[in-house]
Amino acid sequence: MIKRIFILCILLVVSAYLVVAVTVFNRQPENQVCKGMKLVVKDSIDYGFITEAEVKKLLKEKNLYPEKKRIGSINVRRLEETLSKHPFINKAECYLTSGGKVGIEVYQRIPILRVMSSNGDNYYIDQSGKIMNATGKPIHVAVATGFIDRKFAQKELYELGLYLQHSPFWNAQVEQINVTPKKELEIVPRVGDHILFLGKATDFEEKFSKLQTFYSKVLNRIGWNKYERISIEFNNQIIGTRKEN
């Protein structure tokens, strides 16, 4: 019994020591000077909407750039809040590293459509269906025009934008989406002198799959400029209106 109590006491002492040691060794001295910033921009290989230079510039403008500041004066929560207000940043995670630096991980907002509505609205829809303010930075995404309110943009057009984003062929082919007063969709393709009429904003996968088959079996054979309008509104047919000679 005494032996068991002795062993238990030793385990308790060792556990307490480890907790204290980890706390002490990981604690940054408040007077230590920050040695710099370790920044990681997520998805930077595929997208370049936010750069390291822009992050540094933003933090310097807000007098929050951490390098050469005392560790104790750096508020990582304030850094996160400031960075998250940038139009192209979805989320920022900031923390102090064991090497005396500030680690920052930035998650980008990915625009999937630009909306230029007849009511004067001009903005982007991001990968989460949220509205992004338009900026001067050129972004190569399809442009939606016509009779578009924000509810329609964040629901129906958002679903179309997601489909295009995950379809390399149609993402490259769709240049413009026009919304009619009846909330029907007309597509202006990059290749081919015709208009694609989708009808209501539903069944995108089925409609575009059917259209891609028509492209490969018909347009590749007779030419891409024979039709002025191709309708895939109905599930069981494709209606092509030939150009007048």
> pLDDT-based confidence at 240, cuts 50/70/90?
confident
| Percent helix, strand and coil across the chain, each to the nearest 5 | 35, 30, 35
What domains lie within the chain, and their CATH numbers?
Answer: 37-108 (3.10.20), 111-242 (3.40.50.11690)
Predicted local confidence at residue 13, as pLDDT: 52
Is the confidence at residue 216, as pLDDT, over 60?
yes
Predicted confidence (pLDDT) per residue in 206-215, tens digit:
999 999 988 8
pLDDT, averaged across the chain: 86
CA distance 78 to 60: 13
Question: In whole angstroms, how far apart are CA 216 and each of 206, 210, 221?
Answer: 16, 10, 8
Predicted confidence (pLDDT) per residue in 117-131, tens digit:
999 999 999 999 999
Predicted confidence (pLDDT) per residue in 89-103, tens digit:
999 999 999 889 999
Contact 211, 192 (CB under 8 A): no
Rounded mean pLDDT, 143-155:
97
> pLDDT-based confidence at 7, cuts 50/70/90?
low
Is the confidence at residue 200, as pLDDT, over 70?
yes
Helices 52-61 and 76-84 pack at an angle, to 10 degrees, of 110
Q: For the whole prediction, is pTM greater than 0.85? A: no
Predicted local confidence at residue 24, as pLDDT: 45
Query: What are phi and psi for residue 37, nearest 5 degrees?
Result: -125, 130
Is the confidence at residue 22, as pLDDT, over 50?
no
Predicted local confidence at residue 207, as pLDDT: 92
CA distance 205 to 81: 38
